[in-house]
Structure 1
Amino acid sequence: MPKLGQRVSSWLFEGDGLRRKILASAALSTMVFVLLIISRLLSTVVLTRLLTPEIFGVFAVVMMFIFILNQFSDIGVRSLILTKEDELDVSFLRSCWTAQVLRGIFIFAVCGLLALGVGALQRMGAFLPETSYSDTALPYAIAAIGGSSIISGFASPAKFIYERDMKFRQISLETLIYTAIALVITIGLALWLRSIWALVISNFASAVIAVVLSYVMFKGPTMRLNWSMADFRIIIARGKWIIGQSALSAVVAVADRLILGFVMSASSFGFYYVARQIVDLVELFLNSVHGQMGLQVFTALQKDDDAARLRTRYYRYRMLFDGLAMFSAGAFLTFAPALVDIIYDDRYADVAMMIQVLAIGLILIGPGLLREAYTAQRRFREMMMLSVVRAASILFGLSIAVFGFGSVMAGLVVIALHRVPETAILLFKGHKEGWVSWWSEVRLVPLVAVGAAFGWGLAEMWTYFS
């Protein structure tokens, strides 16, 4: 009788090489995720006792600015390397590295200009006194954290070659080493500085660690500046759509911080930042699994001319993502108050309600994986249009909820459900192209109730024993 792992493999995919790589990636990603959870929880428990909620609120604004700049200048080096049709040559890799270095310098320069602008607005009294935007450390932190972009730009693209070849063991090992070192540095700085500068400096140090590991752990050609016009034409032709998509993704990712930061106090905004970190753990895990192998899986799936078999394999691949997302959404709804009570002190009690609302959005993660099918087909323009829909949904929804109705709670609901319009388009387009089965989309929804029952049981146990 075949071993259990072999039976699972044959159940998922028929190609020996691909299914082994998929299962290996899933196993490694799960191990890495468990350790990342331990790391993040340890970091959260320690940092929330060393630093005040207001510091997290200000740092959320700083990270919002740097994230926007990263996304608006994202030329998609990873996607370009993973989706390049022919064999990768040294010239193309060096051209990608050159573009990456120039991008880091650009981000650093813009951070300096932003810092000057924010400082000027503060002196003019443009921000409410209790918000994170009025903190005097904000402009200096923005300028300082821009320096990490220059460092990050020098990272070797050799890691993406390993991803292209689905060599996940080395990638997982690098992630673990990076996480462990960054955690020690962050906690050490927090113990020493007890201010926002602990987070800013640790971000800079993490960038240095990532660059060093990219050369030490991934073998590749020596990097140096390269100005091949043929390579840059490819980078620009495809990168323009990737930049557009990344820019819109940035709008989606920071719209909550951009709008809520103006209407919430620094402490309440800090609570929201902490709540997002907890809920995002689930999406972080699923994205880490899907990010490692999703593009390669969809590329392989689309070689199959049998539509029925293609759908079957697609939903087998999605089962992990849908199952965990649905179960986690339900568990957070009932277990969030006890979870906050376990991890944080009394100052963070308001975080529980925010976790419960934000967790509703987890049920929309699974259908969103279909976006990778467009990347596999290099349909970057269609991906950008999907990003337009998603960005418009959260911007207009948040603006109406917060400024129109004056309700932060309504804003949280919008944040949780902003994927609905994009998901609807993906499902209808996917059904038209033979990917989507309506029954398969809803068959795991009952796991939300299972997760809620599980969370309730855990909460009752905690109440009893505490």
Structure 2
Amino acid sequence: MKFISQRISGLLPDRESLRHKILASAALSTMVFAMQVLARIISTVILTRILTPEIFGVFAVVMTFIFVLEMFSDLGVRSLILTREGELDDGFLRSCWTAQILRGVLILLVCVLLGFCVAWGQDAQLFDIQSSYGDPILPYAIAAIGGFSIINGFASPAKFVYEREMKFREVSIAMLITVVCTTVLTIAFAFWLKNIWALVLGNFANALITVSLSYIMFKGPAMRMRWNRKDFRVIIDRGKWIIGHSALTAVMTMADRFVLGFAMSASSFGFYYIARQIVDMVQTFLNSIHAQMGLQVFTALQKDNAAEELRRRYYRYRILFDGLAMFGAGALMTFSPTLVRILYDDRYADVAGMIQILAIGLILIGPGLLREAYSAQRRFREMTMLSLVSAATVWIGLSVAIWGFNSITAALFVVALHRIPEIILLLIKGGRENWVSLLHEVRLIPLVPAGALVGWGMAWAVQALT
């Protein structure tokens, strides 16, 4: 933590308490991430030996549908609570809680409808029987997974109040308990059922634990249904831009699952799902830190009018993200074949090559953090346009790669690098507002070969020992 302290010191010299909260958040997020990685490794090693690759491929499609539905209906309750002016009254929190529940009911109904549509498509032989979409269990799993959205809707929004006040200790402990309990229960379900329902029930367990902890660990007003026109007008007025941004993010993020789910066999798609999980570990860690404090930090930074001072502090904040992302990208490129041999049996050997390509995309994490500056200024139109660019890039790129060149490899490169046009626009717009320094954008690129060298050394050491 000394390194983090040195980089963040001076970030907000007039706001010493905020600096300490940032340090505390980084430390807690690191602890939680370490436990998440450990839990994911343990569950992956066990589950891949109990369940077949085809099950992971079908489950990836199920989670694609639920993720897209959640993003398309995202009213941004968390963002509204974090950025709401003045004090938060109990009535507004109850209105947010009511909106969450109604959203969960809507998602369940759409999931049931989607299940019927997929079943009809299978009966009409619209899907390749070897693909994940051709699996007869898929319609039932899609309909069932919608149920956990209703459960999540009952979570107390008091957790977001804690995040608003940067009380990250309780947030981190709740995440830690959820990760450990969900991992244990999912593994138990897998030993019992040995099919996709183990993963579905694991998600239900996650939702129940999350909701329970939201009341046990976060003190707040008693929740009850409340329909207040003024509150819902605020939620809808600001939420419409958030929905647009979230919907485009979903379209962008899930494009690979939709397209590759059709183009790959169920087992190959299962390999891809596992490869994405491994690469996403680095991104999840960085996003967990940034999600907890990024909006608050950018809001505080932009209270100062001096653009040069904002830029200096912005790059101080970003150096941790850039450093870990670039180093992690290089390390995964060289160490992934050894990592896959350690974690999985011979059936999963193809996962390594996919990891090596997808890891390239980690280099783009740092520049993408500038999006939060627009969110802090409530410039949701700019965020929506940036999401539109990325969504168009990934869909067009994947379509050309799969149906134009008939190349899965080219599609993987599209997934890894599709954010380049968005990043270019961010840098151009940020440069006009004097937020961006091109020298600072490239100064840590040497960490990519450094990470690759370390990954190669680790692979050599493991081979020598075994």
TM-score interval w.r.t. the shorter chain? over 0.9
Matched, 1:70 2:56: no
Counterpart for residue 157 of structure 1:
157
Contact 1:329 1:360 (C-alpha < 8 Å) held by counterparts: yes
Displacement of 1:305 in angstroms is 2.1
Counterpart for residue 265 of structure 2:
265
Secondary structure at the counterpart of residue 12 of structure 1: coil
Give the TM-score of the pair, scaled to structure 2: 0.98
Residues 363-420 of structure 1 deviation map (CA, whole Å, 9 limit, x = unaligned):
0000000010111111111111111011001001100111111111000000000100
Give the TM-score of the pair, scaled to structure 1: 0.98
CA–CA distance in 1 between the matches of 2:357 and 2:202? 31
Contact 2:66 2:146 (C-alpha < 8 Å) held by counterparts: yes
CA–CA distance in 1 between the matches of 2:206 and 2:395? 31
Contact 2:73 2:103 (C-alpha < 8 Å) held by counterparts: yes
CA–CA distance in 1 between the matches of 2:100 and 2:76? 9
Matched, 1:57 2:44: no
CA–CA distance in 2 between the matches of 1:84 and 1:410? 44
Secondary structure at the counterpart of residue 218 of structure 1: coil
- Within a 5 Å distance, the mapping from 1:439-454 to structure 2 comes to 439-454=439-454
Contact 2:5 2:23 (C-alpha < 8 Å) held by counterparts: no
Counterpart for residue 10 of structure 1:
9
Query: Quick one: which amino acid aligns to residue 178 of structure 1?
Result: T
Contact 2:7 2:316 (C-alpha < 8 Å) held by counterparts: no
CA–CA distance in 2 between the matches of 1:335 and 1:246? 34
CA–CA distance in 1 between the matches of 2:360 and 2:8? 32
Displacement of 1:11 in angstroms is 3.8
Percent identity of the aligned residues? Answer: 65
Displacement of 1:42 in angstroms is 0.6
Displacement of 1:201 in angstroms is 1.1
Counterpart for residue 432 of structure 2:
432
Counterpart for residue 41 of structure 1:
41
The 1:5/1:317 distance shift into structure 2, 3 A limit, reads closer
Query: Quick one: which amino acid aligns to residue 293 of structure 1?
Result: M
Contact 2:7 2:319 (C-alpha < 8 Å) held by counterparts: no
Displacement of 1:320 in angstroms is 0.4
Matched, 1:416 2:416: yes
CA–CA distance in 2 between the matches of 1:364 and 1:246? 19
Counterpart for residue 209 of structure 2:
209
Counterpart for residue 255 of structure 1:
255
Displacement of 1:4 in angstroms is 8.6
Counterpart for residue 188 of structure 2:
188
CA–CA distance in 1 between the matches of 2:7 and 2:440? 19
Contact 1:9 1:20 (C-alpha < 8 Å) held by counterparts: no
The 1:240/1:394 distance shift into structure 2, 3 A limit, reads same
CA–CA distance in 2 between the matches of 1:348 and 1:59? 17
CA–CA distance in 2 between the matches of 1:350 and 1:122? 28
CA–CA distance in 2 between the matches of 1:434 and 1:61? 42
The 1:92/1:448 distance shift into structure 2, 3 A limit, reads same
Counterpart for residue 380 of structure 2:
380
Residues 320-356 of structure 1 deviation map (CA, whole Å, 9 limit, x = unaligned):
0000000011001111100101111100000000000
Count of aligned residue pairs for this structure pair: 464
Query: Quick one: which amino acid aligns to residue 73 of structure 1?
Result: S
Displacement of 1:13 in angstroms is 2.9
Segments of structure 2 that go 5 or more residues without pairing to the other structure are none
CA–CA distance in 2 between the matches of 1:6 and 1:393? 38
**Deviant stretches of 4+, over 2 Å:** 3-13
Counterpart for residue 274 of structure 1:
274
Query: Quick one: which amino acid aligns to residue 119 of structure 2?
Result: G
CA–CA distance in 1 between the matches of 2:71 and 2:43? 26
CA–CA distance in 1 between the matches of 2:321 and 2:255? 25
Query: Quick one: which amino acid aligns to residue 9 of structure 2?
Result: S
- Within a 5 Å distance, the mapping from 1:84-123 to structure 2 comes to 84-123=84-123
Secondary structure at the counterpart of residue 136 of structure 2: coil
Counterpart for residue 328 of structure 2:
328
